[in-house]
Amino acid sequence: MIVVKTRAELQERLNEAAAKSVIGFVPTMGALHSGHCSLIDFAVENADYIVASIFVNPTQFNDANDLKNYPRTIENDLKYLEQHGCDLVYIPDVEDVYHDKRSFFVDLNGLDTVMEGEFRPGHFDGVVDVVSRLFDIVKPDKAFFGEKDFQQLSIIKYIAESLDVEIIGCPTVRESDGLAMSSRNMLLEENYRKQAFVIYKSLIWAKKNYRKITVNDLKKEIENRITKSGKFIVEYVNIVESDTLVSIDEWKDKNINCCVAVYAGKVRLIDNIKLNY
C-alpha cells in the first residue's frame, strides 16, 4: 500500500498504476472502524484500484471542540486499510486540499436545510466543499459512502449527478448490540456506551410498528424510548421521504426513512432506518 501526503504525489501514483483501471475511492476522516473497512471491501469488489483518503476536514465542523476532540488513530487506520486491500492512501494537510480558493458551493435543493443541516449549520457546505475537492484531486470512477450518514449520502448523490462519479451507498455496520459504528463511539463514556443500544432498538421498533400509529405519535414514542433511561437527549426524530428528505406528517406509499440525532453526554450520535422498503 502506498501512502502519499500531497495531491502531486497522488496524481503521479495514479498515472503510473491506475491509468486503465476503475478507480474506487473511499474518503474518510480516519479513526477507522469496521464500518470503514466494509466500505473498502465494497470498493475492492467493485473497482480495480482502491484509493482512500484520511483527512479531518475542518470546514465541516460547526463546533471547534468537536474538531479538536475528533479521534485520530493514524497507525491503526493504515493497518486496517492495508489489511482490507487498499492500494493508495492520501493523507493531506489542510493546505493541500484547500490550495485552490475556488468555491465549490452548490444549491442543494433543500436537502441541506433539514435534520443535520438545521442543527449543524454550515456542516454540509463543508462536506460538499471537501468531497468536491477530493473528487477533483482523485478523479474516481466510483466512490463509497456509508448509509449511516443517510443525509450526507443523499447530498453527495445529488452533487454527483453532474459529475462523472458513481456513488455507491453501503449498509450501516453495527456493533453486536446494534449501535451503528461511528468514529465518535470511541469517545462515549462507559455508562452511555452500555445503554446506547436503545437507539437502534427504538428504530427497529419503529420499523415494526409504524403503520399502527400516526407519524407524530411514532416520533414521540421513539423519543420516549430513547430518553426513558434518563441518559440520552434526543435532538431530533424525523420521518422523511427518502429521495427528497422532505418531512412527512402522514404515512405515504413512498420510500421513507426515520432519522435520529441523540446526545449521549457530550457525544452526538446519528442513526436511521428505512421504514417501507
Catalytic site residues? 36
Task: Answer yes or no whether residue 131 interacts with ligand PAF by CB under 6 A.
Answer: yes
Angle between helices 123-138 and 150-160 (to 10 degrees): 50
Residue 202 or 272 having the CB closest to ligand PAF: 272
Task: Answer yes or no whether residue 272 interacts with ligand PAF by CB under 6 A.
Answer: no
In which element (H, E) is residue 40 found? helix 34-46
Residue selected from 23, 29, 206, 234 as contacting ligand PAF according to rule CB under 6 A: 29
Distance of alpha carbon 244 from alpha carbon 265, whole angstroms:
31
- According to DSSP, the β-strands at 256-264 and 267-274 are antiparallel
The minimum distance between CB 59 and ligand PAF, in angstroms, equals 9
The minimum distance between CB 12 and ligand PAF, in angstroms, equals 23
- The 142-171 contact track toward ligand PAF, x by CB under 6 A, reads -------x--x-------------------
Task: Answer yes or no whether residue 27 interacts with ligand PAF by CB under 6 A.
Answer: yes
Residue 60 or 154 having the CB closest to ligand PAF: 60
Q: Output 179-182 pairs: Cβ under 8 A, ≥24 positions apart.
A: 179/269, 180/35, 180/148, 180/269, 180/270, 180/271, 181/33, 181/34, 181/35, 181/148, 182/33, 182/35, 182/148, 182/269, 182/270
Within residues 249-268, the interface with ligand PAF by CB under 6 A covers: none
- Count the residues in the chain: 277
C-alpha 131: how far from chain center: 12
SS3 111: coil
The minimum distance between CB 60 and ligand PAF, in angstroms, equals 6
Task: Answer yes or no whether residue 127 interacts with ligand PAF by CB under 6 A.
Answer: yes
Residues that bind ligand PAF (CB under 6 A): 27-29, 57, 60, 127, 130-131, 149, 152
